[in-house]
Homo-oligomer: A and B are copies of this chain.
Amino acid sequence: MKELQERIKKEGIVVNQDILKVDSFINHQVDPLLMEHIGETFAEYFKNHGITKIATIESSGIAPALMTARCMGLPLIILKKQPSSILNDSLYHTQIISYTKEISYELTVASSVISEDDHVLIIDDFLANGEAATGAIRLLRKAHATIAGVGALIEKSFQPGREKLVSQGFDVYSIVRIRHMSEDGIEFIED
């Protein structure tokens, strides 16, 4: 998707060869129209996959996941990073370790919003090592749902996330794929 590539070229900040900051249009300030176009792109790719719900991990994936859900006419489930003290339903949970962010956290979903009848598309902002996506898959399977695929806005193709997911048979679709990045620039994998 050229629109996102151009935006990353113009506004993305390559902190080092592993970290790309997109705070001005995705992660901190959000461009709603760009999110809508991204939602339309995911909806087009994942149509006719029998998807019943969209899921994302709070909070950077919520904006594009919401637009995808709106576009597909489906509910969005926000997988929570910690159980709220108010949330007292029966909860499924799993632990996720993020090497990129050097943190670990508990991811939860309430049994009231997911069931064995659900076929779920997971949307997230970045796909790098795949810890978040793998954790979301593990959690949704604990909740007896099946996985329709994983959609990422930005794939760091030089890290093993895609490969790990594809080798397990998952359908992975990324809006843009980065082959290599450095302070000198970003090289995209063209379709």
**Which residues of A are interface residues toward B (Cβ below 8 A)?**
15, 19, 21, 23-24, 27-33, 35-36, 53, 58-59, 62-63, 66-67, 69-70, 73-78, 80, 84-89, 100-103, 109-110, 112-113
What is the count of identical protomers in the complex?
2
- Give CA–CA (A124, B25) in the complex, Å: 20
The answer to whether B59 touches A28, judged by C-beta atoms less than 8 angstroms apart, is no
From A103, which residue of chain B is reached at the shortest CB distance? B85
- Give CA–CA (A75, B35) in the complex, Å: 11
A-B contact pairs, 19 of them (CB 8 A): A19-B86, A21-B86, A23-B110, A23-B113, A28-B109, A29-B53, A30-B66, A30-B69, A30-B76, A30-B77, A32-B69, A32-B74, A33-B73, A62-B62, A62-B63, A84-B101, A85-B101, A85-B102, A86-B100
How far does the Cβ of A21 sit from chain B's closest Cβ, in whole Å?
A: 7
Query: Among B28, B85, B87, which residue has its beta carbon within 8 angstroms of that of A23?
Result: B87
The answer to whether B112 touches A23, judged by C-beta atoms less than 8 angstroms apart, is yes
A29: B residues at CB distance < 8 A: 53, 75-78, 113
The answer to whether B30 touches A78, judged by C-beta atoms less than 8 angstroms apart, is yes
Q: A32-B66, A85-B101 are in contact. Are A59 and B76 (CB under 8 A)?
A: no
From A109, which residue of chain B is reached at the shortest CB distance? B28
From A77, which residue of chain B is reached at the shortest CB distance? B29
How far does the Cβ of A123 sit from chain B's closest Cβ, in whole Å?
A: 12
Q: A62-B59, A85-B103 are in contact. Are A76 and B15 (CB under 8 A)?
A: no
From A62, which residue of chain B is reached at the shortest CB distance? B62
Q: A58-B58, A62-B59 are in contact. Are A76 and B113 (CB under 8 A)?
A: no
The answer to whether B28 touches A87, judged by C-beta atoms less than 8 angstroms apart, is yes
Q: A101-B85, A103-B85 are in contact. Are A75 and B23 (CB under 8 A)?
A: no
